[in-house]
Chain A
């Protein structure tokens, strides 16, 4: 089965926020909501021996997505490419998925009264295009593709990075997104849990 996910090279990422704004433009996202949000990790250490990197936080394309499991109406689903989507018409705003997502990658759209999240720009993928954040990325740090296909570009990048291919903590949800970060750039900040976006 296909599993389309983002792979982000943090050795390259320069924290320019273009992915965040391009995502908001493309998906016409309300003020106060992001599908993709750039976090500054650091600086850590003490002056002048410091480290810092940027972490664009986004849906981690879980292989075992708890948000889909808990959805009572099937509004949250996995599409043919393995992208986790929300069918807004079926969403009853019960918020179960929001509490199920370990990273807080989902948001409630107050105006429209449904839950929203990164769509992997599936409307663009279906038109043969690429996700907005991938196209615009200044440092060419963002890649997307099928992590289940060993021949795909993303699989090769992950393989080549070896132990520098990092993932957010796995609570059985098996995130597919990988962040590439070598120690030379900065040490990966291991945390027990991550919450990017405050839930309601």
Chain B
């Protein structure tokens, strides 16, 4: 097979020479593009690989002619996508050969923001960056260096985290995390158990869960609730397509979304919820299901912790040991209705008992309630009417949706990113986890929550954190995470706390930012505040595929490989696949290698931890850093007893047989070690609807921390609670800013990526503001008008899409930026970037520190004209069409 081989030594040698011919030039206009290299061979190869324009890894057949990628087809053998590709994946060629890609390491020569650059060698770039980092560390402490990463299909998501652990700084962040997925992985991990080596353990369709739906021919699922998720938009070639298959086979669906999305248009019930009020709705479901006894009593008694007695003063579950001799750690106490007395319940259960679900009991003078009772009391205020009022929904429709979820069984709730983007983030995950528990929707045929055994292939074989390298003193300094200990789950700092420190120097100064992702200014809340704060930094490095607005404020730009240039381990259900570097352009390098090189150089300059990080014995059980990416790949594939080359040549192969991979009722299987049923991987061995574990987390940092931490200022709530949106039409802010802003995906982009793809921008050249006709009329706006949108934090523009497909009083916008304005004073992030408006300040989610990306207040008015310089006509995107590249290298291996 023809294949480019990334020989790092040659690579560095070549670039060292090229670096001496440094030239200055702007990021646009291709002054850094040398002439084309002649073709070497004449045959077209079809190489099986995987996309990474988002995180879903769809199967791709790349047609490569003379080292140049000429066509992308879907791979019908990749079971999750079955030959489909979305428009993001289909943009792979225009992205790879984009004339404005970052081609070489660049160093700023003008003032920050002036956008003047000089080409330098990799050696020089790494050396200068490492020197600066070491200097800052000596002067301000390692914690003043921070890193960040983000979406855009980054496969080495933990690259930034691993570097920070190694450098002994606790500060890395991601604009997603607390705002995307972490609230769900945290809560489902606590409620359902720590299920690292399984697939399907939370219900995020956008994160390759909901695996059961892929077996659509079995027609097991009868209904599905899509809550704040729009798979036809966010993942059409996987979850979106699988929903279409399931619907075609009779699956009934409820869609809870302020927008009338494609999935909403095909749903049996659409609940256009007011953004930010999901927990109120969820609690009304809990209340209705309990009041109407729709729950699965047997499951609750045997397999949940809801019958366990909880001390109402301490909020802790009563341990068997406290009352009964010889009780073991997994014995808790229930109220037996047969004997009307407290009884120990050893794991898994005792058939002689009939544990009470509700009730208040007094034992030895102390008051106890069951978790179920506490839950019931918590949900009590949320009648259908109350929820209808708060969520702007019809009570009748809410009831219909609940009945579909409870009676068209088995069902599940696929919870999307929407609820992660408000301070109610973890509570929303909690209330949906509780709803699954009430209905016993675990590991049955047709439900989403499953433990399909993937041996960690899906999640573990990639860059991992290096938690043991972060010292105790430094862990204590992590910004925001002592108060918000849920962040320990992803081992991450809070964006707002980073912004605060960067801006005010409190609690300490931040001095260097290493950033790997697309346009951070399009993803962080209140982008303008970040640009202000960045002025206080001495070093800003941007690692990405092409320059974005963020690059304009940076000191060094390091070119990362596109997915068509990178090797990686991938998987689909029970099969292994491989992403292959089918070509290679210029001097782009794999991100994993870039981080390793910076660490290596810091080690050479005397950083002990960085030196140790290359020693396998010291990093075990995690991977060490390697000097080349090939060695890193070999390390990962050694899991299979293969080198990367052997692995890649063998793919696709089954890493586990389907019958081993896909098993129902894992909790009822016998654990050969104990001779008892396996149960769930939680503290109680049961699914936990009453989450005492959150109290322990808040007080100690367990189970995620490596060292004991001081308690948060208040205990985390073991039950879901509803926090009203802090900006709301019915409070002071709403008087000036009457409309609720929400956000959400479109099929064209992944986060802030791909705004520079001509074929995509031709379809969606500008940001649209969805507004209901009644509101449009009220504010004097007609279809296609340019509109000014303003929040307490800033103002932007968009074009009006007047539509019934959004509730009155709500407006919607997607994140947008304008690469065509990169070389102007706005650097493209100020025109239509909805995150100029979003809210980075308190209130935060208790556990994760989540701020507000959806559900804040704005006002709108007709604008005079479009923002300056933006491209709106198809022909304007011509300069971005693919061009002949240099340094496309083909090597026989």
Contact = CB atoms under 8 A, between A and B. Distances in A.
A48 to B, nearest CB: 5
A156 to B, nearest CB: 16
Interface string A133-171: 001111111000000000000000000000000000000
Interface string B413-455: 0000000000000000000000000000000000000000000
B446 to A, nearest CB: 21
7 contacts: A14-B236, A31-B875, A43-B805, A48-B272, A135-B74, A138-B86, A185-B266
A46 to B, nearest CB: 6
Contacts of A35: none
B245 interface: yes
B236 A138 contact: yes
Interface string A85-124: 0000000000000000000000000000000000000000
Interface of B: 71-74, 83-87, 90-91, 93, 232, 236-237, 240-241, 243-245, 247-248, 260, 262-263, 265-266, 270, 272, 394, 397, 747-748, 758-760, 762-763, 772, 803-808, 873-875, 877-878, 881
A43 B86 contact: no
Nearest to A41: B265
Contacts of B73: 135-136
Given A25-B90, A42-B265, A50 B248 contact: no
A125 interface: no
Contacts of A46: 804
A24 interface: yes
A21 B87 contact: yes
Given A47-B772, A135-B73, A138-B244, A14 B758 contact: no
Q: Which of B93, B260, B808 is the most central at the interface, judged by chain A CB atoms within 10 Å of its CB?
A: B260
Interface string A24-41: 111000011000000000
Given A31-B874, A53-B265, A139-B241, A47 B808 contact: yes
Contacts of A173: none
A12 interface: yes
A12 B248 contact: yes
Given A25-B93, A47-B272, A50-B260, A138 B84 contact: yes
B168 to A, nearest CB: 45
Contacts of B270: 48, 50
A-B CB proximity, top 4 nearest? A16-B236, A32-B874, A14-B232, A139-B244
Given A16-B236, A43-B803, A50 B265 contact: yes
A47 B248 CA distance: 25
B874 A14 contact: no
Given A12-B244, A16-B86, A43 B236 contact: no
Contacts of A17: 87, 747-748, 763
Nearest to B245: A140
A18 B878 contact: no
A6 B877 CA distance: 30
Contacts of A138: 84-86, 236-237, 240-241, 244
Interface-central residue, A21, A25, A141, by most chain B CB under 10 Å: A21
A22 B90 contact: yes
Interface in A50-80: 50-54
Given A26-B71, A136-B74, A18 B87 contact: yes
Contacts of B86: 16, 18, 138
A11 interface: yes
B87 A51 contact: no
A186 B264 CA distance: 12
Nearest to B263: A14
Given A14-B236, A137-B84, A21 B881 contact: no
A172 interface: no
A120 to B, nearest CB: 17
Contacts of A139: 236, 240-241, 244-245
A141 B244 CA distance: 9
A123 B85 CA distance: 21
Given A14-B236, A18-B84, A31 B90 contact: no
Nearest to A52: B265
Max chain A Cβ within 10 angstroms of own Cβ: one of B87, B272, B805, B808 = B87
A136 B240 contact: no
Nearest to B236: A16
Contacts of A20: 87, 763
A185 B244 CA distance: 12
Contacts of A47: 272, 772, 804-808
Given A15-B232, A136-B74, A21 B248 contact: no
A128 interface: no
Given A47-B805, A137-B84, 20 more contacts: A14-B262, A14-B263, A17-B747, A20-B87, A21-B759, A22-B90, A25-B90, A31-B875, A42-B265, A42-B805, A47-B272, A47-B806, A48-B397, A50-B265, A50-B805, A53-B265, A136-B74, A136-B83, A138-B244, A139-B244
Given A15-B232, A50-B265, A138-B241, A31 B877 contact: yes
Contacts of B85: 18, 22, 136, 138
Contacts of B875: 31-32
A45 B804 contact: yes
B373 to A, nearest CB: 36
A51 B244 contact: no
Given A31-B881, A51-B265, A136 B232 contact: no
A15 B262 contact: yes
Contact of A43 (B243, B265, B266): B265
Contacts of A185: 265-266
Given A32-B762, A43-B803, A137-B84, A18 B877 contact: no
A21 B244 contact: no
Nearest to A141: B244
B83 A135 contact: yes
A31 B262 contact: no
A25 B71 contact: yes
Contacts of A186: 265
Contacts of A51: 265
B262 A54 contact: yes
A16 B240 contact: yes
Contacts of A15: 232, 262, 747
A47 B772 CA distance: 9
A170 to B, nearest CB: 27
Contacts of B877: 31
Nearest to A185: B266
Nearest to B237: A138
B90 A140 contact: no
Nearest to B804: A47
A48 B807 CA distance: 8
A48 B83 CA distance: 35
Given A12-B248, A25-B72, A47-B808, A18 B262 contact: no
B811 to A, nearest CB: 14
A185 to B, nearest CB: 6
A31 B761 CA distance: 10
Nearest to A37: B763
Contacts of A50: 260, 265, 270, 804-805
A140 to B, nearest CB: 7
Nearest to B876: A31
A164 to B, nearest CB: 13
Nearest to B803: A43
A200 to B, nearest CB: 15
A21 B236 contact: no
Nearest to B878: A31
Contacts of A16: 86-87, 232, 236-237, 240, 262, 747
A14 B240 contact: yes
A180 to B, nearest CB: 11
Contacts of A48: 270, 272, 394, 397, 807
A21 B808 contact: no
A18 B93 CA distance: 15
A58 to B, nearest CB: 16
B774 to A, nearest CB: 9
B244 A14 contact: yes
